[in-house]
Structure 1
């Protein structure tokens, strides 16, 4: 069980460990802060207050041992830096029963109440994310020791509410991590749909699940085509959060390929090793819906989740086959490993039919985005400048890095087929993220602002634990979606970013 995250104005008695933040300027003082941390001892450990440094100080009669976390120059301390520091402190304190996080004191005295609340929320998020472990498949998992984390800071009810919300957001992101980390042979499309139903029932959301017959009736030819090589039945899940007197409608779409072998265009053995993560978009959407009630956005939020695996069974879709998407568009499949865009095409058609004010989709879509941006920054593309600005602002407010890529109309010719309306891969090898996004754009109804977030690089973290990042599934996108819903303003203009 993850630790309980609570809040206190002052340092509670009986803590096993206390974490404090120190800036680079603070590390130069002879006795650091009200704790009077021994500067000589810290200096002997090479501690300078630089960001990401962690040091330990023994306890005394007046207080518990302390873990000291460097946060860099005081002018650079913000919610993102404190989220990271909280995660580092929690990892350092995993072997104690209770940990206090006195990190908010390094904030500038002039910060607004809103900024202080945002920082408190980030500390709680970092604590929950830093405590994350995935042990479901270990025969003898190491028992959890840390049971209680106390965020210490002034601000009264606002700080308490922010910490509570931060804990819920972290829980939502950890749910997405669990889903991504679960093997594809266990997390089948049917099981993923069951998780979505459980969340909907818990959160009092509307949910609809389509099985194979209903998917066929709905004309979801992309989803059926990808599913042809599988022994597992596909699912299509629709979720809805509907507040009273909603201020606009936001539709979110998530790619749900529970395992991707590449189909007949089969991946290499190494390329398949992490392909249980190919449903990271759907996981992020389910995670976000699990915390929507806590965030309480004023807009209506609709979710569209196509779910299948991509396998090599006897009747798998062959290169050269033609599929018909829900809107009647025919697609020549020339690479069965470009399957995510096929199931998203159906989902974007359905999302468009609900006539939302805007659409955003998340998908582990292209390896090209990781080549361009690495594994910590997602790419975003779309058809509306105003909406893209809003998505980027939400990602920035949530502390998830994102970068815009162009969507030039003249690249569209690379998707022209000689036998169908479209081909599912470009005629060239360059610009893969762009051409995949142009393919998706074909299935967004005219006039609807749309953004596509390619999380192929950010949904999986292959290196060791680093700040709030844990090895394996990251749950990237949950915080962005929640912030986007919280701050949603229906776009009024269409200005293409090309």
Structure 2
């Protein structure tokens, strides 16, 4: 073991298993094995010896700080228990245990003043770096942490480890950006300020493909010309100007693919920067959390920029209506009838209706919307999973797999015709809320479906239940969650792989099957690190 001085600003994080044989001469005695695939046999032996000296038993969340391992590890080392190696676990459970272990390691070392984290692969470098970066988030210290903290992989690792690490770094950084946007108080994150920050974010990180990206912010007069009365009826109670953000990315053309004008994937995000409920005032107890009623907008805007930053070979368009919903003398009254941009009359209002109608102009192959839409979905599913309503079984299966693989799960809810009659109105074509108590999330989805063309491949994500974390969950700290952005990004990555495989093209002198991985590998580490480090603050 080494006796060299320990640099207090650096730390290494690894995991260990602790099995207890049930028979034989060593029955009941902890058998510790370091899970590392990057450390030397000698280093792992030293770690095992030190863990044994600290009476490590491998209990859940057990953790140790170790010093003076050997000359190859001149750092403080956080060793985190991964439990029993023989315990049956699904792939999701294994990845989640790695995320929590890495998160625990960061929290442990940060209490010692560590700023530079070196991560073992834990046999899943993507999950490891996700846990580390997600656990480092703090709204109050977001700017400081982005600039002062660094996360690196152990030097001995494979190309696959590096690619997975970069993917996890980008996904976790995107989630932290989304959390920051959603955590920002509503007097700071107004519709205009949201647009300003997103435009600066894009300018900072999309200069390498700026000719393939177009971002425009439209105002209320433009929305009126478009007939977006549903959107405007929500905004008319507030003195803050509403905005309609349109983001276009030509990813096929950016990658030199044929069919560059092929139909884009459409993203729609609900952007109510504060939802007091309008005239129908929400209960005071949790109203402060309604600053995050724009988390759907934050997810879609950040996903768009992340996909373009990675130069994914897909076309994207994101439309994001942004407004406040406040009570005033000009606010929409309960029972008012308005005409949406597709000509349907609505008793009530919802900003997503006009956004879903508008995005049809791009003839999208798929439409995905995300909204903190109903409290009912939180009652139904709690905070363990986001809800998905979809017109397409294949799309749901793709997104379900993306949720499972990313650790950001979704659960399918019914989008049956049975719910439509509950939205009937005696004074309009449809009303925006059922008078019945049950099935609120399902009737809300049925309402949105009225603004999607028959045959359109569409999925609606109701993320109200997963909007926030009420207390630390092992990875995320208390506050807004940014979920399910990792699921959406994983799905976009898989869509990109399918695109490349279908066209059987060569990128970066690689076969089509590995070109996306090469695309991620080609992103310089300093560029990836800057993705979150240089996020523009409010």
Alignment TM class, shorter chain as reference: 0.7 to 0.9
1:125 correspondence with 2:125: no
Question: Equivalents in 2 of 1:440, 1:144: separation in Å?
Answer: 38
Question: Equivalents in 1 of 2:410, 2:306: separation in Å?
Answer: 22
Task: Look up the match of 1:38.
Answer: 50
Summarize the Cα distance change of 1:401–1:72 in structure 2 as closer, same or farther, 3 Å threshold.
farther
1:98 correspondence with 2:116: yes
Summarize the Cα distance change of 1:320–1:68 in structure 2 as closer, same or farther, 3 Å threshold.
same
**Secondary structure of the structure 1 residue equivalent to 2:285:** helix
Task: Look up the match of 2:508.
Answer: none
After TM superposition, the structure 1 = structure 2 runs for residues 10-409 of structure 1, keeping only pairs within 5 Å, are 16-25=10-19, 28-29=30-31, 33-34=44-45, 35-43=47-55, 47-59=56-68, 62=71, 63=73, 64-74=75-85, 76=89, 78-94=94-110, 95-104=113-122, 107=123, 119-135=124-140, 147-152=149-154, 154-202=156-204, 203=206, 204=210, 205-243=213-251, 244=253, 245=257, 246=260, 249-333=264-348, 342-409=350-417
Q: Deviations over 1:251-308 (max 9, x none)?
A: 1111000001011100121130211011010011122123113443322111010100
Task: Look up the match of 1:336.
Answer: none
Q: Deviations over 1:309-334 (max 9, x none)?
A: 1000211000110111111111002x
Task: Look up the match of 1:417.
Answer: 425
User: 1:371 deviation in Å?
Assistant: 0.7
**Secondary structure of the structure 2 residue equivalent to 1:433:** helix
**Secondary structure of the structure 1 residue equivalent to 2:266:** strand
Summarize the Cα distance change of 1:294–1:160 in structure 2 as closer, same or farther, 3 Å threshold.
farther
Summarize the Cα distance change of 1:291–1:52 in structure 2 as closer, same or farther, 3 Å threshold.
farther
User: 1:179 deviation in Å?
Assistant: 0.6
Task: Look up the match of 2:518.
Answer: none
Question: Equivalents in 1 of 2:270, 2:192: separation in Å?
Answer: 15
Counterpart contact for 2:17–2:33, Cα < 8 Å: no
- Which segments of 5 or more consecutive residues in structure 2 lack a partner in the other structure? 1-5, 21-28, 35-43, 500-538
User: 1:444 deviation in Å?
Assistant: 0.7
Summarize the Cα distance change of 1:293–1:376 in structure 2 as closer, same or farther, 3 Å threshold.
same
Counterpart contact for 2:137–2:145, Cα < 8 Å: no
**Secondary structure of the structure 2 residue equivalent to 1:269:** coil
**Secondary structure of the structure 2 residue equivalent to 1:328:** coil
Counterpart contact for 1:352–1:448, Cα < 8 Å: no
Question: Equivalents in 2 of 1:31, 1:178: separation in Å?
Answer: 38
**Secondary structure of the structure 1 residue equivalent to 2:238:** coil
Counterpart contact for 2:238–2:326, Cα < 8 Å: yes
Question: Equivalents in 1 of 2:404, 2:486: separation in Å?
Answer: 10
Question: Equivalents in 2 of 1:184, 1:379: separation in Å?
Answer: 25
Summarize the Cα distance change of 1:66–1:216 in structure 2 as closer, same or farther, 3 Å threshold.
same
Counterpart contact for 1:295–1:486, Cα < 8 Å: no
User: 1:30 deviation in Å?
Assistant: 5.7
TM-score by length of 2: 0.78
After TM superposition, the structure 1 = structure 2 runs for residues 450-489 of structure 1, keeping only pairs within 5 Å, are 450-463=458-471, 465-488=472-495
**Secondary structure of the structure 2 residue equivalent to 1:453:** strand
**Secondary structure of the structure 2 residue equivalent to 1:274:** helix
**Secondary structure of the structure 1 residue equivalent to 2:65:** strand
- Which segments of 5 or more consecutive residues in structure 1 lack a partner in the other structure? 1-12, 108-118, 334-338, 491-498
Question: Equivalents in 1 of 2:33, 2:173: separation in Å?
Answer: 37
Question: Equivalents in 2 of 1:87, 1:358: separation in Å?
Answer: 35
User: 1:248 deviation in Å?
Assistant: 5.1
User: 1:91 deviation in Å?
Assistant: 1.5
Question: Equivalents in 2 of 1:325, 1:145: separation in Å?
Answer: 45
User: 1:407 deviation in Å?
Assistant: 1.3
